[in-house]
Chains A and B, each alone.
Chain A
Amino acid sequence: MTGPIIGVDTGGTFTDIVLFDPRSGRLHLAKTPSTPHDASEGFGNGISEVLEVAALGGPDIDRVLHATTVATNLILEQKGPPTALIVNRGFRFLLEIGRHSIPRRANLFAWCKPQRPIAPDQIFEIGGRIDPDGSEVEALDEAALRAAAEAIAEVGIGTVAVVFLHSYANPAHERRAREIIAEVTPAALTSISAEVLPVMREYERGLATALNAYVKPVVSRYVGRLEERVDDRKIAAPLLLMKSNGGVAGTDTVRAKPVETALSGPAAGIVGANIVAAAAGIGDIITVDIGGTSADIALIRGGALGLTTRSVIGNWPIPLPMVDLTTIGAGGGSIAKVDKGGVLTVGPDSAGANPGPVCYRRGGTEPTVTDAHLVLGHLPEALLDGDYRLDRALAEDAIRTRIAEPLGLSVDAAARGILEIIDNTMVGAIRVVSVERGHDPADFTLLPFGGAGPLHGGPLARLAGCRRVLVPPAPGVLSAFGLLASDLRAEFSRSCLQRDDAFDFEDVAGVFAALSAQAEAWLESEGVPAQSRRMTRQVSLRYEGQGSELTVPWPGDVDAAALAEVVAAFHTAHEALYSFRLDEVRIEAMTLRVDAVGKLPPLTLPEIPSHTDVASARVGDQPVSFAEGVVSAPIYDRARLGAGSVLEGPAIITQLDSTTLLLPGQRATVHPTGSLLIEEE
């Protein structure tokens, strides 16, 4: 269990590969173009490349870990295959009607309904009904089910979702439906809602199940190709994929519940951020992952990833446990515009990777956030070791004609305005994960990553009120890195309605036992040895009458003492989050959950050499424009900085995959693990 491990993170433009060899303590990086027509190709190329760099062979490898955007893109781009859905009689329009609302901030007259992943003519109604207590009101109409399965087979649909009312209380009808479908059309993939997400509220559970079915054929094939690529390279080690919950799982788990990989990439980044922070002795961080079109923001407290069941992917709420992050349309490619009324807006439209910012010279004409950075001197004109030149004159021209002149501002002021607006948008998201969740940003270290993250870390920390910034050693490949540090994780939950003054301990103990058994079975199937298994119990609670729950750990046994502890923890959490508690009100338990973890060997970060000869790392100087005026700032090559080095802002710190901007008044110290710790002087 101590051989080299490989992490592969597939992004929109590049696939990042990291190989860590615990025997030598060496870390090898590689970057290869992503291959959107078949992402497994880039995955395979990357592995070959990193093996070559590390001079290792496939058989030497102990573990391969992978973060994928295949499911995410299918959902966002609505490119899944035809999918069928089986529902109760009378509920064919389950997805179409949804919650019968339009978003709170949408305009009633302009909004257009997003297309559902499954069209109504591929939805089949079947007789049969279960009541909320799990009893059967009407037997399942098996003949009708068989007929539906035949119709589905006839039109060549290969993936089916089954969503029956109250299946969280009794999944018998859904399970029987799956058997019948398998008899009629054995090749079809079937997803049943009681297994995807056995909790109350049919639209949300149904949507999660429908999306699971929707991405299943493509993800299954993709996983198969990944396995081939691994085999081709003579790697006999297990292949594990990152899920939205910040843990990895084997290919069989992913084949069964592919929708759980919807946040695979961002989750890997958060795990990476957590491990880098931990290595620097920091447990409370706010992570800001800034890419080309979007930014993902998350908060970690005490080194533990927070999970939420309120995630939204594209247009769809998916109440599966996922890392609690906020995604906004703000990135390096976000476009700045001035409208007729003289209003300056930045994003959410993005120039993306293609054509990209104006300064990339790939045909982009609308100024972006990256162009603003370049004009102000935040970026060196040569990126990626000089292979890649940025055209400053072109960027300046675009900002002058499209922003500065219409607003009557100088080019510098216009560029600063663009950054102030985008920073403000990001600070809004930082507030969502911190202040809105009852956390004071002053208690947290900001951890920016992604190619563009470290340019914004300093200003964001000041705006949000974070006292420190930690820039990881390789901000551009942190997600790949996070894979190396991941454990196996899965959550098993079920609705179980209880009230604190009439608590059925036996019932709760029974449900917890059943969930634990499921968790054990899963850990077993993943080959996790007994000493590496961890299980914790959670319960979601609310004041009687509320519609939204808070999740708190369930300690020890299922008895009155534990309940008292749980209730006390709930009151405290409610007050911390929402500013008040209601001691006189009864408390309801809604969902029980067992979180299973299979521990993998921990990752120890290699340390960099120690020296404080900062001058030897200085590779040039460049004028940088701040609101107070233009200052000449030194440019440092991060690779040449030794542990213990101290840099005073203003300064620019370049590296292969990112650029860090140190503001006047900020001081950066190089940590032995290679991270830069930035503090106000």
Chain B
Amino acid sequence: MTLSPTLKTPNEGHPHMPKKDLRAMASDATPADIDPVTLEIVRGALRAIQSEMEMLIERTAMSAFIREKKDYASGLYDPAGRMIAGKALPFTSDLVTPVFKYYPPETMQPGDVYWYNDCYDSHGAVTHTPDQVLVAPVFFEGRLIGFSQTWAHFTDIGGMRPGSLSPDCTDLFQEGTIVPPVRLVAAGRMQDELMRLFVRNSRQPANVRGDMRALMAAVTLGSTRLTELARRFGGDELAGAFDALLERTATVLRERLAALVKPGTYAFTEWVDSDGHGNGPIALRYTLTATEDGRFILDHSKTDDQTKGPINLILNPKSAGMLVGAYLLGDSHDLSLNAGAERLFDEVILREGSILQPRLPAPLGQRGVTMLRNLSGYLGLLNAASKGGASASHSPYAIWTFRGTDAGGERFLMSDGVACGYGARPFADGHDAVYLVAQENYPAEFVDNFYPMRILSYAMNPDSGGPGRWRGGCGVIREIEVLAEEATLLVRLDAIEHPPWGAGGGQCAGTGRCIINPGTEREVHVPPLSDGTLVRRGDILRLETGGGGGWGHPFDREPERVLADVKGGFVSARSAEADYGVVLTAGGRAVDTAATEARRATRPATQTFHTGHYRDSIQ
């Protein structure tokens, strides 16, 4: 199957779009008509609206997943459903058009709010069922001028296990209530029957109601603000500004891709360790072709088949451009990441039945692993094309979840997202201890207060960052003492058998693991992707997460930086000497300059990638 995200006209390529050109309906102004001042003002205003929507969600949502972990986002779209403003790292950007299949835009009314979480029906606009998407059409002077959109991860929407998601799932229908696009609010009237049905299927009804109120308030706010913007600039001018913003992003990103990827075909393979059901490793195989006439073709079709376990990812073909676009965008403050990035690749090829394009009812709940490995795969392709000129690989963020009953007899569910290390870059170290953009941890004092457990330590995982001129980020170590009589443990770790690779001469990262009662006779190693492990009062659980790969020759790292890393507990003295060629004085408080020079005199040769050893390609 070939899915083309090419947007020669904005509506082409999506099966649900009506044939008539919505853009013509929205705008009579062409991008060229929009002056740069208006454009910058509109861009700033969109950013402000988005922030305001997100603040509202964060301050009013009920579940810890949203308010502490901050697993939510907002976006603003044009009348054709193209994202004009969205997340800084949008795994998916095509969140509005799935609604069109059931509710063509011309049938929409002011005050409508649409809702869905259906991964297959939305073609990967959402990638696992707990993410609830709300979409509100925005009108000005009787005309559709765009859409306001919010989504958030709801803690429990039914399904096989508390929290809805489990590595044990083998079928989408075990992962919670599926909501195809429905109209939750019709012309300002809330359809409470839908909510009643949905809430009844949740183990945490109060959270579901509260979180939905927060999302609804925010999507309505976005709608109000977008209307105000149209009142200020006029509907045509706003539409023209949207077009110009899309055009600008598309043009600049294509130029940047062309600068990094010269004509030719480049191949790369990334791996997912396991599906948690005995299958794996699973290969994500890519080729990127840059033609002489300036076309870019991204082919995922040699990727392995979908799996029994829930690590399948419905990769919306538009997402490839957004993810690579986010990388190419970097910190260009004058440019926004929007649907213009969807045009980065002229063709995106996916194979139905593969892990990146599964068939119903393949389970999707743990697709985060595959999402992060896929992102790493794209970085690998850019490195293959530029001979190590891009960032190194990262570990996928980890999750461990505890379910049980507290002393008061109430059921609890604590799903704890745990940071990992990100890849070093040609200009800087990788991030230590980061989960993902704008997702926060549970403070130890929060966990101690509200769950029957105690956080014993929360530390950097030393030597987990890949050595390099720029060091890969370190993962973390989190230790928890169980205070509940009994709980079951879900763990999700990956990139253990295939550690995050180093690039440009940098070396691969350290990996993670989960151990119960480490260093005692009762020590047990928990399988990296598993559910149902029973833990008891007094058990001490330790989760270690992996780091990011290094970039550049480790011998080129300044000895002072290596010393600071050793003193800071990021790198061991042993690794300093063995990997970086930096010898420290006896107390480890200073660099032994003479010994370091001698050690660095013989310099190992490097190649583009490192996966335990240097190699020219990973295929």
Contacts and interface: CB of A to CB of B under 8 A. Distances in A.
Nearest to A429: B48
A344 B213 contact: no
A645 interface: no
B41 A420 contact: yes
Chain A interface mostly: loop
A373 to B, nearest CB: 16
A585 B429 CA distance: 46
Interface string A573-592: 01000111010010000000
A169 B48 CA distance: 38
B251 A120 contact: no
Contacts of B59: 546-548, 578
A90 B478 CA distance: 9
A104 B441 contact: no
B457 A545 contact: no
Interface stretch (A107-115, A178-186, A218-226, A231-239): A107-115
B113 to A, nearest CB: 13
Interface string A87-106: 00111111011011111111
Contacts of B557: none
A407 interface: yes
A545 B59 CA distance: 11
Contacts of B418: 100
A456 interface: no
A132 interface: yes
A442 to B, nearest CB: 13
Contact of B58 (A165, A421, A547, A580): A547
Contact of A90 (B58, B251, B252, B458): B458
A202 B329 CA distance: 34
In this complex, which of B58, B221, B429, B568 has the most chain A Cβ atoms within 10 angstroms of its Cβ? B568
A interface, size bucket: 35 or more
A92 B459 contact: yes
Contacts of B54: 104
Nearest to B448: A132
A132 B327 CA distance: 42
B64 A101 contact: no
Contact of A113 (B40, B251, B391, B431): B431
Contacts, number: 224
Contacts of A119: 564, 567-568
Nearest to B420: A100
A90 B479 contact: yes
Nearest to B217: A579
B449 interface: yes
Given A425-B44, A578-B59, A100 B441 contact: yes
B251 A96 contact: no
Interface string B206-217: 110010010011
B401 interface: no
Contacts of B36: 338, 342-344, 407, 417
A585 B61 CA distance: 13
A66 B76 CA distance: 46
Contacts of B293: none
A165 B63 CA distance: 23
B60 A100 contact: no
A54 to B, nearest CB: 46
Contacts of A137: 454
B434 A200 contact: no
Contacts of B102: none
A372 B216 CA distance: 43
B260 to A, nearest CB: 13
A203 interface: yes
B217 A578 contact: yes
A548 B446 CA distance: 13
B459 A582 contact: no
B48 A200 contact: no
A73 B597 CA distance: 40
A166 interface: yes
Contacts of B331: 106-107, 110-111
B96 interface: no
In this complex, which of A99, A425, A544 has the most chain B Cβ atoms within 10 angstroms of its Cβ? A99
A97 B458 contact: yes
Contacts of B437: 101-104, 106, 108
A547 B217 contact: no
Interface in A519-552: 543-548
B88 A121 contact: no
A421 B56 contact: no
B445 A92 contact: no
A442 B429 CA distance: 49
Nearest to A89: B457
A103 B51 CA distance: 12
B435 interface: yes
B187 interface: no
A281 interface: no
A432 B45 CA distance: 12
B210 A91 contact: no
B360 interface: no
Contact of A97 (B61, B329, B476): B476
B456 interface: yes
A38 interface: no
A345 B456 contact: no
A203 B443 contact: yes
Contacts of A165: 444-445, 448
B449 A110 contact: no
A30 interface: no
Contacts of B39: 343
Contact of A421 (B37, B326, B425): B37
Contact of A343 (B40, B55, B458): B40
B252 A341 contact: yes
A345 B39 CA distance: 10
B125 to A, nearest CB: 21
18 contacts: A91-B444, A93-B458, A100-B440, A101-B435, A112-B428, A119-B564, A202-B443, A343-B36, A343-B39, A343-B248, A420-B37, A421-B37, A421-B44, A425-B44, A435-B52, A548-B58, A548-B60, A574-B60
Given A341-B251, A345-B333, 11 more contacts: A91-B457, A108-B436, A108-B437, A110-B329, A201-B446, A342-B36, A345-B334, A548-B60, A579-B220, A582-B210, A585-B206
Nearest first, the 8 closest Cβ-Cβ pairs linking A and B are A90-B457, A547-B67, A545-B62, A104-B438, A417-B37, A110-B331, A100-B419, A121-B567
